[in-house]
Amino acid sequence: MAEESAVQPHLPPFHLAFPVRDVQEAREFYTKVLGCTEGRSSARWQDFSLFGHQIVAHQVDGYNADAACNAVDGDPVPVPHFGAALTVQQFQALAERVRAAGVSFIIEPHLRFKGQPGEQLTMFFKDPSGNSLEFKAMSNPGNLFAKYQVVVWGATGFTGRLVCEHLVRDYQSKGIRWAMAGRNRAKLEEVKQALAQIDPACAAVPFVIADADDEASLARLAADTDVIIATAGPFAKYGSKVVAAAVEAGTHYCDITGELVWVKRMIAAHHEAAAAKGVKLVHCCGYDSTPFDLGVLLLADHARKQMGKALSQAFGLCVDARGGFSGGTIASGFNQAESEAPEEVGRFMSDKYYLWPKDKQRGSDKPPGLLPEWNEYAKTWMGPFVMEAINSRIVQRSSLLNGLYGPDFKYREAMAPGGLLGAAAMSGMMAGIGAMFALAPLRNLAKKRLPQPGEGPTRELMMGGYWKHTMVGLTQEEAGQAPQVIVAECADPARDPGYWGTARLVLEAGLCLALDSAACKAAGCADGGVLTPASAMGMVLVQRLRGAGIKFEVTQSPALGKQQQQQQQQQQQQQQQQQQVEAVATGAGK
């Protein structure tokens, strides 16, 4: 039997002394059944090496173990108990030895916390004196000592503070184990004090000191949590080592980046390793690109389950929105324009399949132009949308990873202001934004006038903000047959898209990774790799966001009867009115 600590071989050996009723009886069990080697001994005690750790059986006349039980993942776990964390191979070999010796299991060998970061094989049995033993094998050994379910990295930044505030307002009382992380202790203390004004219990919320350039500190951060929620950008400057630390520790990760050139580097560097380890690295979990990515998934899920069809095309139409900009987002955009090779930025802008592997055959989807277009299926004019270049690449990566869309699936994103003049205004605005990012003099001027990193919109603007999208899907049909049309509405009536809303979106993604892994696995989501919201969490995240007051609803479809459509519209109006009332009453949205 291996005599090395299987999970953390660098740790010093642990010492445990325990009572037995007969030392010779214990000697027979621990050596012949468990395979321990003997150490020093006397007539009334015996040292053993249990996978490299020192345990000592002391004979206590008349001893009779009497263990209580505590429920763990549905199992009545005896307390106290002891044992070791093994490799899967060691666990399986030991289970066979115990069976062969005719020892009865208190809890049979099985997998618990299935699909969660703490997933492990476990078994319980007793020694001849009645002492309870547990042996386990972590599916991901790096998660053995995780302290937290989620850590908010970049908690002192503009969006990071908002993520923490959402946590405090809606999850502090629900027992979520979380911590803040950043490099500046004083600023973290300041955030904690502000949160304690909302809930005094936040005075006890821990924080982790780590620096984006200090790999050792990032390794400790990643080892202490199940999920990292990353909000510190520009990610090309501050995110790469955080992602690497997450992969190394076996820790899930999600962020709010929109820097797709950097995301492509993360795919090249980590996708295969993360997939092999079952680690989910999920970029673009804020307003870019969660609502659009999941909106398309909602259409595809409805088409497949209710109509037996695949999607041939989808449109994401931003109907209305109100919010502001932060200096961090602007800095990320400028950083990509200034630090990335122009040729690579050109490839990103011209290729809808930019996040696909190079050797994967592309479809026929092409980037849209700047001029207004009429959408016959939605019956509206479309103008260019500033985030289309990001969101459409994420949606197309989802189409690659989840395999739920049509064979030559196309996606178009646009503003839908309602008329030709509005669409033309969008065209002019996009031309101006493009010039600002392309031309250094305009960028320099904008840097002086626009918000700086750490600054953002007013609280009133964020809390009074909202967004509303119409998602339109076309079914895959035989040649010559017209597609069937599916329409869905995705909306948040109580949060701005960029900051209060983005903070909630990435928080729910992080909590989904931490708490809903089993549901994601059952839903057929990808097990690991550099993923998208739709491929990593799918309809499980849709349901979680609905619970947070965000609307994802199919409103028109051949599969919906007229009466059902009318009932849905009435329910949606009532829900929207109720959400608006709650938003006004609380002053902070849900």
> How high is the pLDDT of residue 590?
44
Confidence of residue 6 (pLDDT cuts 50, 70, 90): very low
Question: 3 pLDDT band (50/70/90 cuts)?
Answer: very low
Give the span between the Cα atoms of 247 and 225, in whole angstroms: 12
Listed residue (213, 390, 319) closest to 555, CA to CA? 319
Helix (H) or strand (E) holding 41: strand 37-41
Residues 6+ apart with CB under 8 A from 130: 64, 65, 66, 67
36 phi and psi angles, rounded to 5 deg: -70, 150
Mean pLDDT of all residues in 414-440: 82
Residue 470 near residue 378, CB atoms below 8 Å: yes
Whether residue 4 has pLDDT greater than 60: no
Q: What share of the chain is helix, strand, coil (3-state, %, to 5)?
A: 45, 25, 35
Quick: pLDDT tens for 29-56: 999 999 999 999 999 999 999 999 999 9
Angle of helix 327-339 relative to helix 420-438, nearest 10 degrees?
60
pLDDT classification of 440: cutoffs 50, 70, 90: confident
pLDDT for the residue 328: 56
Model confidence at 326: pLDDT above 60: no
**What single letter denotes the amino acid at residue 299?**
L
Rounded (10°) CA dihedral 225, 227, 233, 236: 100
Q: Is the pLDDT of residue 93 over 90?
A: yes
- Ranking 153-167, 344-358, 519-533, 568-582 by mean pLDDT, the lowest is 568-582
Q: What is the mean pLDDT of residues 145-162?
A: 92
pLDDT of res. 581: 60
**539: which 2 tokens?**
């309809």
- For the chain, the average pLDDT equals 89
What is d(CA 384, CA 390) in angstroms, rounded to the nearest whole number?
13
Q: Reply yes or no on whether the pLDDT at 587 is more than 60.
A: no
Chain centre to alpha carbon of residue 571: 30
Does pLDDT of 20 surpass 80?
yes
**pTM of the predicted protein model:** 0.76
204 pLDDT band (50/70/90 cuts)?
Answer: confident
Give pLDDT, residue 258.
93
Contact 500, 589 (CB under 8 A): yes
Do the beta carbons of residue 281 and residue 287 sit within 8 Å? no
